[in-house]
Amino acid sequence: MILFTLFFLLLVAAWQDCRTYRIPNLLILLGVILGVVFNTVPSAGIGILDSVMGCVTGLLVSLPLYMTRSVGAGDVKLVAMVGTFVGPFDILSIFLLSMLWGGGMAIMVALHKGMLRQLFVNIVNAGLLMFSKTRYLNSDEVRKSMSKRSVGKLPYSIAILGGAITFFAIFKNLTLIY
């Protein structure tokens, strides 16, 4: 029941994100509440502490991507919501797999638009912006110039869904098709 609910919420989020490039806060809030409630049942879940820690961990690992404008706020909240279902350790794996999915999606879109070089320039600039301590790289001018040369928007919730499916299929032996 827990996994079914998680995947249902992720599918709804991906559908909404594809249509509007937004993930409704109400959906995220419902997911966080359900994730915590389901995990309070001792025989079925991971426990309330791990559920809350998964939420916090998901938020903390995805926040730097938001700060560099690589993902939107809804994507950060969606990763945190997934953390309430899986806990602090599994969300790290799901997050890394989601980044691989997102990178693959970005490369495909950039190839399609003929902007692969610009994609890699943007990745380098985002890394410099994230890790730089100089005022120049943290200036609003650099952020604005990066957004003007964007390769395009992606519904990143698809990458999060893909990361979750991949994680459960590989590491938790989830059989999706019988």
d(CA 9, CA 17): 12
Any domain includes 62:
yes
78, 23 Cβ separation under 8 angstroms: yes
pLDDT given at position 137: 52
Q: Residue 98: inside a domain, yes or no? A: yes
| pLDDT score of 144 | 58
Residue numbers of the domain that contains 25: 2-105+154-171
Provide the angle, in degrees to the nearest 10, between the axes of the packed helices 48-67 and 88-113.
Answer: 30
Tell me: pLDDT of 133 over 80: no
- Whether residue 122 is predicted with pLDDT greater than 90 in this model: the reply is no
* 73: in domain: yes
84 pLDDT tier (thresholds 50, 70, 90): very high
More confident site: 28 or 103: 28
Per-residue DSSP letters for 20-75?
HS---HHHHHHHHHHHHHHTTSTTTSS-HHHHHHHHHHHHHHHHHHHHTTSS-HHH
Extract the tokens encoding 168: 């459960």
The verdict on residue 117 lying in a domain is no
- pLDDT bin (cut points 50, 70, 90) of residue 178 is very low
> Hey, is 138 helix, strand or coil?
coil
**34: in domain:** yes
Lowest mean pLDDT among 58-62, 80-84, 114-118, 171-175: 171-175
pLDDT tens, residue by residue, 138-154 = 556 555 555 556 667 88
Burial class (CB in 10 A: 0-12, 13-18, 19+), 22: middle
DSSP structural state of residue 117: H
> Residue 57 above 90 pLDDT?
yes
pLDDT at 70 over 70: yes
Overall pTM > 0.75: yes
Tell me how far apart the alpha carbons of residues 30 and 9 are, in angstroms, rounded to a whole number: 9
Cβ atoms of 76 and 63 closer than 8 Å:
yes
Segment 89-97 shows an average pLDDT of 96
Residue 119 has a pLDDT of: 75
Domain count along the chain: 1
